[in-house]
Amino acid sequence: MDAVSYPESKVVSFIEEHFIPLRVNSDRKPHAEKFNIKWTPTLIILSPEAREHHRTVGFFGPDELIPLLLLGLGKYHFENDMFDMALGCMKQVVEEYGQSSSAPEAIFLTGVCNYKQSHDPKPLKAAYEKLSTAFPDNEWTKRAYPYRLL
């Protein structure tokens, strides 16, 4: 990704605005062992306390990397019960990167976040319906399948 994604100014700006990047070689101890890094590139989004919130392995071009990082940021907010911030990230993924590989999970988590805030199951069903229309064969559609009954 050094040659394609990281030099892109929009990627640099996004990372500088939202993260403290740290590069660890896959054979570098103790970090590679501690975070179970076996292959490069492995991207891990950690909390300030070093709790893992999102992980991916493999190359991503700039148009996939930004939504992937945004999804990871949203998952950090979600897992810390900051649902409004999580929803903001998910909304941005869906609206600005709706055809990215991160969009289906963002749609799924939008339904979950809205449910967690309201305890109303309607957002879960709405997420399934949106997924089944836009991404009928995606794993996140399959995970949301039970919500069709709500």
87 vs 6, higher pLDDT: 87
Tokens in use for 104?
């289906």
Tokens in use for 32?
């590679």
- 25-29, 37-41, 122-126: range with lowest mean pLDDT: 25-29
Classify domain 9-149 by CATH number.
Answer: 1.25.40.10
Q: What pLDDT, on the 0 to 100 scale, is given for residue 1?
A: 53
The Cα 108–Cα 111 span in angstroms is: 5
Domain ranges of the chain: 9-149
- Distance between start and end Cα atoms, the chain: 42
Task: Tell me the one-letter amino acid at 52.
Answer: E
Phi, psi of 52 (to 5 degrees): -80, 135
15 vs 3, higher pLDDT: 15
Question: How would you class 104 by CB atoms within 10 Å of its CB: exposed for 0-12, middle for 13-18, buried for 19 or more?
Answer: buried
The mean pLDDT of 38-42, rounded to a whole number, is: 87
102-149: per-residue pLDDT in tens? Answer: 999 999 999 999 999 999 999 999 999 999 999 999 999 999 999 999
Task: Tell me the one-letter amino acid at 141.
Answer: T
Contact 147, 124 (CB under 8 A): yes
